[in-house]
A and B are shown apart, each in its own frame.
Chain A
Amino acid sequence: MHEYSIVQALIRRAEETARAHAARRVEGLRVRIGTLAGVEPVLLLAAFEVCREGTLLGDAELSIESVEAQWACRCCGCGIAAGGALRCEACGGPGQLVAGSEIELDSIALEVDDV
């Protein structure tokens, strides 16, 4: 359940930002999680429910955008379909993951006194 340590890092970062903006509370967070990042969105939400208590994120919403894995040839850049060997059909080069490994904090919505 490394989702707990990811959520703790997320809450730390959001609280720092909230304090820097003198915000009353954090209203919401948007994160992007790749399907090959090794992070399970359902578990991330469950960990968030537990860890946000007593923080500035007490009733914040966590919205998770899932990013599909995409492979491309490391040599010629051609797309490679998942589900088979990760080799380029055009030139035989090895694939590399070009999307799908994201564990990113996109944005933080803060409630502040004056906009």
Chain B
Amino acid sequence: MCDHCGCGDGGVVTVEVHERILASNERAAAHNRAHWLREHVVAVNLMGSPGAGKTALLEATARAAGGRLRLAALAGDLATDRDAERLRAADIPAVSITTGSACHLDAALVHSALHDPPWHGAIDLLFMENVGNLVCPAVYDLGEAARVVALSVTEGEDKPLKYPVMFHKADVVLLTKIDLLPLLPDISIERIRDALAHVMPEPLLLPLSARTGEGISSWLDWLDERRRRLFGDE
């Protein structure tokens, strides 16, 4: 008994844990990943700043490949259904994941959305358009097979250096809105590549324009290569 209040003598024990704090997200991500592998779906986690051109990229992807590939999308946004509406208008079955105040998608949110998907039958490619943000989405595995970052030419050449976590985990960086380059004489693609090489071990930058379609075929080739790598030639 303690001398003060008569409670039992307390003591401190230390429990060693050594566990990733986001282990439950990682379990949910592994579940999503196994589901997509079984269903032969290439799941893409598409990230980037607000206004980087993520939705426009998906619209352009649908215009160029919609006849050949069965596309679907989950659109993460703090509020509104606007991105999903645009995607549906581009013939991509899409559903919004409204995150409220959360600044990122997580694997459980994605999993819940998959329980009542807006598409019917099999799909080839599932785009998860993350919340526009270069910080928080980088931390959460959704179970994707590919991490894609959209970076627009107007955002500044040093963005990769300022947001190293986002860019170092990317499989490919899409440099969007290159149709604006003639208006931006101070922006150099080479300097963006150089910044990327400082944070991304195997830097891969694909310049493209959703508006003119320039570069979209390289992006589709990259997606096809990913599909072959995951599922072989089908």
Contacts and interface: CB of A to CB of B under 8 A. Distances in A.
Interface of A: 1-2, 5-6, 9-10, 13, 17, 21, 23-24, 27, 31, 36-39, 71, 74, 83-87, 94-97, 103-115
B24 to A, nearest CB: 6
Where chain A touches its partner, the secondary structure class is mixed
Contact size class for B?
35 or more
Contact of B22 (A6, A74, A111): A6
Give the dominant DSSP class at B's interface: mixed
Given A94-B201, A109-B15, 6 more contacts: A9-B22, A31-B21, A38-B166, A97-B168, A103-B22, A113-B8
A66 to B, nearest CB: 15
B142 to A, nearest CB: 13
Contact of B200 (A83, A86, A103, A105): A86
Contacts of B198: 83-86
B10 interface: yes
A39 B140 CA distance: 11
Contacts of A36: 164-165, 168
A10 B23 CA distance: 10
B16 A106 contact: yes
A24 B14 CA distance: 13
Nearest to B199: A86
Nearest to B10: A111
Contacts of A114: 8-9, 11
Nearest to A9: B21
Contacts of A96: 201
13 contacts: A2-B102, A2-B135, A6-B21, A9-B21, A9-B22, A10-B21, A38-B139, A83-B198, A95-B201, A106-B18, A111-B10, A111-B11, A113-B9
A46 to B, nearest CB: 15
B138 interface: yes
A21 B14 CA distance: 11
Nearest to B202: A94
